[in-house]
Amino acid sequence: MTVIPFDFRPGTLVESAGVSIRILMPKTRLSLRARTAAVPAISRALGVAVPEKIGQRASGEGANAETEILCLGPDEWVLLTDVEQVGTITAAMDAIYKEHPHSLVDVSDREITVEIFGDKATDLLTLGWPRNPLSVPIGEARRTVFDGASVVIWHDSETSWRLNGWRSFMPHLLGLLVTGCRELSAE
């Protein structure tokens, strides 16, 4: 039986020749809900072109280089950023609130992010993901289910993925991924 610690300390969980899994350092995660008509104003306020197609993501440049925005739905985005940027983002969004009402909520503690990487990373994801991982282009992400748990899976490169899952589901998800990683290394 695989036992996963509940403190979710960043670091490597399992490493093999074909695939490795590590818990990433926490980032600030902001949930944004707004009308699509507000996207241009939000883009200007944040200094990042807010994506409008579900699954697309964008990254900032310069001072905003550490900010990523993912479109999860027609009026829903998630922003990942460093804690140092939260005040700047909040102030920028407060400045446009009167003309462009929106909801911006810090949900940082809700999810844990793991990186799955290596030549067999895509194979490992097929263990619990009921779709072909390669249907998600590199540079995009999808909200989906993984073995029945709601997750967001990011396709970062040919051999690298990120999986965001709710903290309460992570022991189950990580147990499944670690077991799958060991099975793949035994092939």
Domains of the chain: 11-26+109-186 (3.30.1360.120), 28-108 (3.30.70.1520)
**Non-local CB neighbours of 145 within 8 Å, separated by 6+ positions:** 129, 130, 151
Model confidence band, residue 63 (pLDDT cutoffs 50, 70, 90): low
Band of pLDDT at residue 7, cut at 50, 70 and 90: confident
More confident residue, 3 or 41: 41
SS3 (DSSP) at 94: helix
- Mean pLDDT throughout 82-95? 94
113 within 8 A of 27, measured Cβ to Cβ: yes
